């Protein structure tokens, strides 16, 4: 497969606007793969549990795809991707905090349980 996103004079807007849906998906996947470190950084920074990380990573990818049409190319894709990922993380944390406070769970206790669960899973692997 030809590397669509690389090369001198690459303009995301030109390629994107002239692309078929399939080409847009290929371009998106390629850009996502090239910037996978950003995604991992955000996921690992906000989510302690390995199990939850996989789900959360999928949520970020979904939000990136959903917002992909709004990427104008005025900034680097990596900058845009980081911003969308960060906003998704913040929304997730706010939602989680609302759920915790609405059912009266002690957040510190929940965090301790999450850490212990992660340690147990790591020992098993």
pLDDT at residue 7 tops 60: no
At residue 67, does pLDDT exceed 70? yes
What token pair was written down for 35?
Answer: 């910037």
Residue 15 pLDDT greater than 90, yes or no = no
pLDDT at 49 over 90: no
3-state secondary structure of 8: coil
Sequence spans of domains, the chain: 13-124
Tokens of 103: 């059912």
Residue 21 near residue 67 (C-beta atoms within 8 A): no
DSSP 1: -
Q: What is the pTM of this model?
A: 0.63
Band (33; pLDDT cuts 50, 70, 90) = very high
The correct CATH number of 13-124 out of 1.10.357.10, 3.40.50.1370, 1.10.10.10, 1.10.1740.10 is: 1.10.1740.10
Residue 105: pLDDT over 90: no
Buried residues in 18-49 as b, exposed as e (16+ CB within 10 A) = eeeeeebebbbebbbeebeebbeebbeebbee
- The full length of the chain comes to 125
At residue 19 the predicted structure's pLDDT band, cuts being 50, 70 and 90, is low
Instruction: Check residue 103 and give its pLDDT.
Output: 60
Helix (H, G, I), strand (E, B) or coil at 110: helix
Provide Rg for the chain, Cα atoms. 18
- Residue ranges in 18-106 assigned as alpha helix (H): 21-34, 36-46, 50-67, 77-103
């Amino acid at each position: 497969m030809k590397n669509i996103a690389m090369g001198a004079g690459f303009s995301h807007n030109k390629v994107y606007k002239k692309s078929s849906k399939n080409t847009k998906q290929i371009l998106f996947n390629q850009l996502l793969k090239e910037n996978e470190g950003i995604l991992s950084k955000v996921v690992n920074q906000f989510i302690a549990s390995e199990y939850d990380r996989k789900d959360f990573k999928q949520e970020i990818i979904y939000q990136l795809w959903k917002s992909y049409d709004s990427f104008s190319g005025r900034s680097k894709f990596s900058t845009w991707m980081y911003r969308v990922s960060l906003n998704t993380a913040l929304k997730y944390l706010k939602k989680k905090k609302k759920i915790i406070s609405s059912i009266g769970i002690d957040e510190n206790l929940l965090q301790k349980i999450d850490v212990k669960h992660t340690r147990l899973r790591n020992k098993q692997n």
